[in-house]
Amino acid sequence: MTLDDPLVRALAREDPALFLQRFPPPLLLDEVQYAPELLTYIKMQVDRDRTPGSFWLTGSQQFHLMKGVSESLAGRVGILTLLGFSQRELVGSPFTPPFLPTPDQLEKRDESRPAGMREIFARIWRGSFPALWSDPPVDHGLFYSSLVQTYLQRDLRDLANVGDESGFLRFLRGCAARTGQMLNLQDLCRDVGIQHATGKRWLSILESSSIVFLLRPFHSNITKRLVKSPKLYFLDTGLVAWLTQWSSPETLEAGAMAGALFETWVVGEIVKSWWHNGREAPVFYYRDRDGREIDLLILQDGHLHPIEIKRSASAGREAVRSFQALGTLGLPTGPGALVSLVDVRLPLTASIEALPAYYL
């Protein structure tokens, strides 16, 4: 059932007990945030019958949904954050575990259909929202314009008390122009003409609603990971392309943001592989005082797996030289990868592989 239907929604709000009698479990209920009155009755029914999967609750307004769930269903619910389609979903590849660049995990991904640079950038520009992949697809510009006007401006404006809509849109465009970069919030706020405190609040809302992802720097001291500057990534590259006004995949591929958007897309695909498996993404970046940087570190079972990302079809060992810096961190290093636009999977060293982007 969906609570988009006004008659169904009215029954759920006015008589939730009768609603659950009329629609008994197993029940998949969409837009449940429109009837928070239901959650208390769902809690009572779950307490009577602990069969897992009796209720599946979905909603597009994350803050309203999570407020009701956290108050009513604590300890009784599993929470999944689902982003747009992953590349593997789009090409119909088998469901796989979270991404790790280990030989056994990569073997499970070798059924992916090869894709060249042109096809990859078409996916980057198009974005990952299901409506954009319907047949026929919706108009790209109209879709993202509507998304910003409705979901971003309506929902986030109300939650963050955004009185200055044009300022919020400037902030959103400023963030998009900085995807794949280390975040300097003070400079960003100055450039778009808002107070630092306002920008900090707006960024927190964008992160909590899974519009952006802040990649924290790795440090062996966990506390220090939280205070150093993160890198900013959007979780839908189509939204970035629209906000930064790239009119086609071809102009994007040849433009100044091609490298940043390719990196953003790769990071997003890896994050999706963890979140869509119901797991936190244990990902960081590395940068030391000597300027050596590693785009992505995956921390798994006490091992660091380094990932370098290059928009090139010819990147080689030189691109992963910074991996040597990991010896100073005091943790064992696992297999790593150079994710690029190469055609086939190739070894670079005994523990590092050049990995085609379509393997993600």
Query: What mean pLDDT do residues 76-97 have?
Result: 87
More confident residue, 107 or 262: 262
User: In sequence order, which ranges of the chain are alpha helices (DSSP H)?
Assistant: 6-14, 16-22, 37-48, 62-72, 87-90, 103-107, 117-126, 140-147, 156-160, 165-177, 185-192, 196-208, 222-225, 237-243, 249-254, 258-275
> Following DSSP, what letter does each residue of 276-318 receive, concatenated?
TTT----EEEEE-TT--EEEEEEEETTEEEEEEE-S-SS--GG
**Ranges 43-52, 150-159, 293-302, 323-332, most confident:** 293-302
Residues sharing a CB contact under 8 Å with residue 310, sequence separation 6 or more, in sequence order = 319, 338, 339, 340, 341
Contact in structure between 314 and 354 (CB atoms under 8 Å): no
The residue ranges of every structural domain in the chain are 6-72, 87-359
DSSP assignment letter at 28? E
Cα dihedral sign for 150, 278, 358, 306?
Answer: positive
> What are 157-170's pLDDT values in tens digits?
666 666 677 888 89
Contact in structure between 109 and 295 (CB atoms under 8 Å): no
Q: What pLDDT does residue 226 have?
A: 46
How far, in Å, CA of 284 to CA of 292, rounded?
14
> What are 85-94's pLDDT values in tens digits?
999 898 888 7
Q: What is the mean pLDDT of the chain?
A: 88
* pLDDT > 90 fraction of the chain, expressed in percent and rounded: 55
**Distances from the Cα of 269 to the Cα of 43, 111, 143, angstroms:** 34, 17, 22
Residue 186 confidence (pLDDT) above 50? yes
> What are 23-34's pLDDT values in tens digits?
999 999 998 888
> What are 242-282's pLDDT values in tens digits?
999 999 999 999 999 999 999 999 999 999 999 999 999 99
How far, in Å, CA of 15 to CA of 13, rounded?
6
Under DSSP, is residue 350 helix (H, G, I), strand (E, B) or coil? coil
Structure token digits, residue 52: 């897992």
Q: How many CA atoms lie within 13 A of 341 on its CB side?
A: 17
Q: What pLDDT does residue 168 have?
A: 85
Q: Find the range with the poorest average confidence among 171-185, 270-284, 311-325.
A: 311-325
pLDDT bin (cut points 50, 70, 90) of residue 304 is very high
Q: What pLDDT does residue 163 have?
A: 65
Q: Find the range with the poorest average confidence among 131-140, 182-191, 257-266.
A: 131-140
User: Which residues face 286 on adjacent strands?
Assistant: 294
Query: What mean pLDDT do residues 139-165 have?
Result: 77
How far, in Å, CA of 98 to CA of 274, rounded?
5
Under DSSP, is residue 173 helix (H, G, I), strand (E, B) or coil? helix
pLDDT bin (cut points 50, 70, 90) of residue 8 is very high
Nearest residue to 114 (alpha-carbon basis) of 312, 355, 352: 355
Query: What mean pLDDT do residues 184-194 have?
Result: 93
Under DSSP, is residue 339 helix (H, G, I), strand (E, B) or coil? strand
Residue 222 confidence (pLDDT) above 60? no
Phi, psi of 247 (to 5 degrees): -85, -15
Residue 201 confidence (pLDDT) above 60? yes
